[in-house]
Amino acid sequence: MVFFFASFPLFSQDKYRLALVGFYNFENLFDTKDSPDTNDAEFTPSGLNGWTKERYQEKLRKLSQVISEIGADQSPDGLALFGVAEIENRGVLEDFARQEKVASRNYQIVHFDSPDPRGIDVALLYQAKYFQVTSSQTIPMASYASNGEVRGTRDILYVSGLFDGEPLHVLVNHWPSRSGGEKATQPLRNAAAMLCKKVIDSLQRIDPAVKVLVMGDLNDDPVSPSVKEVLNAKKSPQEAGVGAMFNPMYDYYKKGLGTLAYRDAWNLFDQILLSAGIADQNAQGYRFLRAHVFNPPYMCQTSGPFRGYPLRTFAGGEYLNGYSDHFPVFVSLVKKVN
């Protein structure tokens, strides 16, 4: 197994092994086929978006460019593992993993179909030399229509494995949106957060130092009730402990940095939360070093009323040939080596 070794000044002359973990909302990564079981007709060649093979391939190329560059200044391996949202099926991820810019990393895939009406799912991709999956499952999450009827939404993906030999648990999320109003839909995201918390609590009862990552497009900010109260996500590693998580994105949010923009306001919906076992600066094995929002200029609109926003694939019915309406996030983890 080959890893990137780095010596960080703040750690004197000690040697540390570095690994990067991320999350990226791929924004409507659909293939060009019309699936009879989902509402995906707009992403077909004859559909509203004119979703041709050429546009699909260009989307894959752009997403692979982003993933290939995330953390490249820290490690030639880039992301050891990362969660994704808004992907239609396993096939689009297989097409992504074959892209020239990421093919050498040989990303493996954990994916399950979810009951979302549009057919969009979450998934986890990982490099086998860093991570070995020992179990994976979905956690169903109910959502409700305005008439009170239950409707499908994205399941939570729960993956356990060995990260460089250390037990690690990952929960990949895409919580219910704010469509219908932030306040009216807040209970849905609170319920999603509670599902994650139940998993974390059960793991911490067995081992208080367990390493858990909660990542995803939460459709809520670090100060929202679902994150701050239900998950009890704190703004510093020192505050994290049994029953609490550390949210390294909190300071970015307070400084006005976001991962998506709407009506001239930034939100930081894309987050990676860490349990005390990985947030603690004295933790054994891998521990948190720093968090990042990846937003180079080429991923931003350069003109017009949405200047500075993430350059997305479509906006207002117009094909922009962009990347996503979200910026990705990632965290750097370090482990002392002999």
State the chain's mean pLDDT as an integer. Answer: 93
Q: How far apart are the C-alpha atoms of 285 and 335, rounded to whole Å? A: 5
**Residue 227 per-residue DSSP state:** I
Q: Which residues make Cβ contacts (< 8 Å) with residue 133, sequence separation at least 6? A: 108, 110, 126, 159, 160, 161
The pLDDT value recorded for residue 13 is 57
Q: How far apart are the C-alpha atoms of 30 and 71, rounded to whole Å? A: 26
Average the pLDDT over 241-261 and give the result: 96
Whether 108 contacts 128, CB under 8 Å: yes
Report how far apart the first and last C-alpha atoms of the chain are (Å, whole number): 16
Write the pLDDT tens digit of every residue in 127-180: 999 999 999 999 998 766 566 666 678 999 999 999 999 999 999 999 999 988
Whether 111 contacts 153, CB under 8 Å: no
Average the pLDDT over 39-52 and give the result: 95
| CA-to-CA dists, residue 317 to 88, 313, 323, angstroms | 20, 10, 15
Write the pLDDT tens digit of every residue in 179-221: 889 999 999 999 999 999 999 999 999 999 999 999 999 999 9
Q: How far apart are the C-alpha atoms of 321 and 49, rounded to whole Å? A: 12
Q: Where are the domains of the chain?
A: 16-328
pLDDT confidence tier of residue 48, bands split at 50, 70 and 90 = very high
Q: Token digits for 45? A: 């060649």
What are the phi and psi torsion angles at 257 (to 5°)? -90, 135
Whether 153 contacts 116, CB under 8 Å: yes
Q: How far apart are the C-alpha atoms of 242 and 279, rounded to whole Å? A: 12
Q: How far apart are the C-alpha atoms of 37 and 88, rounded to whole Å? A: 12
Rg (CA), the chain: 19
Please, what's the largest Cα pairwise distance for the chain?
Answer: 62
The pLDDT value recorded for residue 266 is 96
Whether 331 contacts 279, CB under 8 Å: no
Q: Which residues make Cβ contacts (< 8 Å) with residue 33, sequence separation at least 6? A: 44
Q: Which residues make Cβ contacts (< 8 Å) with residue 107, sequence separation at least 6? A: 96, 97, 125, 126, 127
Write the pLDDT tens digit of every residue in 69-125: 999 999 999 999 999 999 999 999 999 999 999 999 999 999 999 999 999 999 999
Coil, strand or helix at 182: helix
Whether 288 contacts 333, CB under 8 Å: yes
pLDDT confidence tier of residue 12, bands split at 50, 70 and 90 = low
Q: Which CATH number fits domain 16-328: 3.40.50.620, 3.40.50.10490, 2.40.50.250, 3.60.10.10?
A: 3.60.10.10
Kindly report the pTM of this predicted structure.
0.95
The pLDDT value recorded for residue 185 is 92
Which position has the token pair 């020992």? 134
Amino acid of residue 97 = A
